[in-house]
């Protein structure tokens, strides 16, 4: 049980029945930070002083008193030795045995005196059972849904307050949010729309060519884009881009107590922080939709021109004739709903965030996930309604 080298911590354990003696010798000054990682030096034998558990395991259960002798101790410039003694003391005390230290090291004694467990340890919560976790989840969901509904009601009430001019909102914030959720999103919306439009055209061209109906490519792309794709793709991009940014921003403000500072001023964080962002998203989304429609159709036009050799003028004319205004109206209405949804979700989730760095990440993730699921739900709702009403 003894390491060999002199420059290492030496220890030996002897005794019988209830009385044991641990004698500590040699150098216990190994600095932890200098211990080289094992994988770097496979040959080196790293210093392995014993852990308290290892020593206690070597003693019989009937141990009543462990005496520590440090006569042969030469140096201990690290926390190795005090940590060992501290843990021995605590573990022995827990099993009604005692640790006696015979040492001429005053600072070792002093450190041992300093390291005392708290007199009133804080209560730690008991881990929940599986059933309890399930119940907790269900309750959390119920809470989240009712809080979301409240948030929606608050949004409508806030709009009312805004109309009568009683909401405390800075117009500057609205402009900032509009630029963030509008102009700054244009490059990515352009890219995504162009690609979606051309993908639709490519897929359609292959099928239509079999029937010799290539000219219908314009109507196909036009209707698909106006009714579904432009609104949906813009919303998904915005949920990932702006919605996540809003949620993370508000959650960070929550962590920094900026939200609390607003509340103590008597300013509703909802009016001041959420309102401009929701309004901006709700206003900008239809505009982005129109922009995305134009760009996607442009993408379709490019493909029609290059792959099918269709005249651009014919393509444009067929879109103007073939895509009824109602398709645009439905798309526009959808994008309005999507914008409101993303704004509502991201601000609500951001303000409801916890107060740690991890909570900020969770808020951003949750905002994106809920928004995207919501977008698809709303979209399918629209599909069902329009099928039944024949619009």
Window 119-148: contact mask with another protein (x via CB under 8 A): -xxx-x------------------------
DSSP conformational letter for 355: S
Nearer to another protein, 115 or 152 (CB): 115
Residue 386, SS3? Answer: helix
Residue 59 touches another protein, criterion: CB under 8 A: no
Q: How far is the CB of 36 from another protein (least distance, A)?
A: 7
**Which residue, 117 or 165, has its beta carbon nearer to another protein?**
117
The beta strands (E) that lie in the chain are given as 9-16, 19-27, 65-69, 73-75, 98-102
Residue 211: phi and psi, rounded to 5, are: -100, 5
Among 59, 83, 199, 333, binds another protein (CB under 8 A): 83
Percent of residues in the chain assigned helix, strand, coil, to nearest 5: 70, 10, 25
Selected binder of another protein within 8, 25, 70, 78 (CB under 8 A): 78
Tokens, residue 260: 């609390």
Q: Which of residues 82 and 204 has its CB atom nearest to another protein in the complex? A: 82
Query: In angstroms, rounded to a whole number, what is the distance separating the alpha carbons of residues 121 and 138?
Result: 32
Q: Report if residue 31 touches another protein, rule: CB under 8 A.
A: yes
Q: What is the DSSP letter of 179?
A: H
Q: Considering the complex, what minimum distance in angstroms separates the CB of residue 254 from another protein?
A: 12
Which residue's entry shows tokens 């962590």? 255
Question: How many residues does this entry show for the chain?
Answer: 391
Taking CB under 8 A as the rule, does residue 328 contact another protein? no
Does the protein bind another protein through residue 95 (CB under 8 A)?
A: no
- Examine residue 390 and tell whether it contacts another protein (CB under 8 A): no
Report d(CA 49, CA 55) in Å as an integer: 10
- Residue among 14, 16, 33, 61 that touches another protein (CB under 8 A): 33
In the bound state with another protein, the residue whose beta carbon lies nearer, of 21 and 87, is 87
As a whole number of angstroms, the distance between CA 336 and CA 312 comes to 31
- Smallest separation (angstroms) from another protein to the CB of 239: 25
Which residues contact residue 270 at a Cβ distance below 8 angstroms, ignoring those fewer than 6 apart?
151, 154, 158, 347, 351
- Which residues of this chain interact with another protein, rule CB under 8 A? 29, 31-33, 35-38, 46-49, 51-54, 74-80, 82-84, 86-87, 90, 105, 107-108, 110-111, 114-118, 120-122, 124, 354-359
């Amino acid at each position: 049980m003894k390491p060999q080298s002199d420059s290492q911590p030496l220890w030996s354990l002897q005794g019988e029945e209830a009385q044991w003696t641990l004698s500590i010798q040699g150098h216990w000054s190994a600095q932890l930070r200098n211990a080289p990682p094992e994988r770097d030096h496979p040959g080196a034998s790293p210093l392995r002083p014993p852990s308290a558990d290892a020593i206690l395991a070597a003693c019989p259960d009937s141990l009543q008193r462990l005496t520590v002798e440090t006569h042969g101790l030469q140096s201990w410039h690290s926390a190795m030795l005090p940590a060992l003694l501290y843990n021995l003391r605590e573990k022995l005390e827990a099993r009604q045995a005692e640790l006696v230290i015979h040492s001429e090291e005053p600072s070792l004694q002093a450190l041992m005196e300093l390291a005392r467990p708290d007199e009133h340890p804080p209560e730690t919560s008991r881990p929940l059972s599986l059933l309890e976790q399930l119940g907790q989840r269900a309750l959390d969901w119920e809470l989240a849904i009712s809080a979301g509904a409240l948030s929606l009601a608050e949004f409508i009430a806030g709009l009312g307050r805004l109309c009568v001019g009683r909401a405390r909102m800075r117009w500057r914030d609205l402009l900032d949010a509009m630029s963030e959720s509008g102009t700054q999103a244009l490059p990515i919306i352009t890219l995504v729309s162009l690609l979606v439009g051309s993908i639709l055209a490519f897929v359609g061209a292959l099928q239509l060519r079999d029937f010799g109906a290539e000219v219908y490519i314009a109507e196909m792309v036009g209707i698909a884009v106006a009714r579904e794709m432009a609104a949906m793709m813009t919303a998904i991009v915005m949920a990932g881009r702006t919605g996540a940014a809003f949620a993370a921003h508000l959650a960070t403000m929550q962590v920094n107590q900026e939200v609390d500072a607003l509340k103590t001023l008597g300013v509703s964080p909802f009016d001041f922080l959420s309102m401009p962002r929701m309004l901006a998203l709700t206003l900008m989304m239809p505009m982005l939709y129109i922009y995305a429609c134009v760009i996607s159709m442009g993408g379709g036009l490019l493909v029609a021109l290059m792959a099918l050799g269709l005249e651009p003028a014919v393509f444009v004319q067929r879109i103007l004739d073939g895509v009824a205004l109602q398709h645009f109206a439905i798309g526009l209405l959808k994008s309005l709903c999507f914008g409101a949804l993303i704004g509502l979700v991201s601000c609500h989730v951001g303000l409801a965030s916890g107060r740690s760095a991890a909570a900020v990440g969770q808020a951003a993730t949750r905002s994106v996930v809920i928004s995207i699921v919501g977008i698809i739900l709303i979209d399918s709702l629209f599909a069902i309604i329009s099928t039944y009403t024949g619009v």
